[in-house]
Amino acid sequence: MALFRETPYSAFNFLVDLEPGQGTEVLAAFSEVSGLNAEVTVAEYRAGNHAVNYVQKVPGIHKAGDVTLKRGVIGAQNLYEWLEACRSGRLKDAKRNIVIKLLSEDRADTVVTWKLRGAMPIKWTGPTLTAKGGGDVAIEELVLSVETLEQE
């Protein structure tokens, strides 16, 4: 039987692996992941010989939503190069399986793992640059189209 906590886990302890099992080094940590969602469409069906006039709902196509990753600009080109592989039609290099892990507070255990299957970049946004000064960090954003979302 699974043990449940009285308090939810914090959202700030997470890891994103863009190329699981490839042995590539992490070039930068992501500061935000948003859009983890899955949806099942419903088809409505009514048989003509039912005694009661009602609609049955049948599960239809399932899909995963677009996932957005944000990180501070560090001069690494890996996200833009991934987008370029997609734009140039190199499908073998464009689609990846991404792993996102939520960690416990002490970072010793993985609490939940999400696997994004068939993820490919569909939008890259560079930082907003402003001369007003201050301590704002330049953030780049990558939006991924995901074929399937799995949770473990």
Q: Which two tokens stand for residue 53?
A: 């006039």
pLDDT of residue 28: 59
Residue 124 CA to residue 126 CA, distance in Å, equals 7
Count, in order, helices (H) and strands (E) of the chain: 2, 9
Cα–Cα distances in angstroms (integers) from residue 124 to residues 41, 83, 120, 140, in the given order? 28, 7, 11, 7
Do 101 and 112 touch, CB atoms closer than 8 A? yes
Q: With beta carbons less than 8 A apart as the criterion, state whether 121 and 134 touch.
A: no
Looking at residue 116, its amino acid is L
Quick check: pTM over 0.85?
no
Is pLDDT of 20 > 70? no
Q: Would you say residue 1 has pLDDT above 70? A: no
Task: Considering only residues 76 and 122, tell me which one the structure prediction assigns the higher pLDDT.
Answer: 122
Q: Detail the DSSP E strand segments found in the chain.
A: 14-17, 32-34, 38-45, 56-64, 67-72, 96-103, 110-125, 139-145, 148-151
Residues sharing a CB contact under 8 Å with residue 109, sequence separation 6 or more, in sequence order: 103
* Range 34-52 average pLDDT: 91
For residue range 95-118, list pLDDT tens digits in order.
889 999 998 888 888 899 999 999
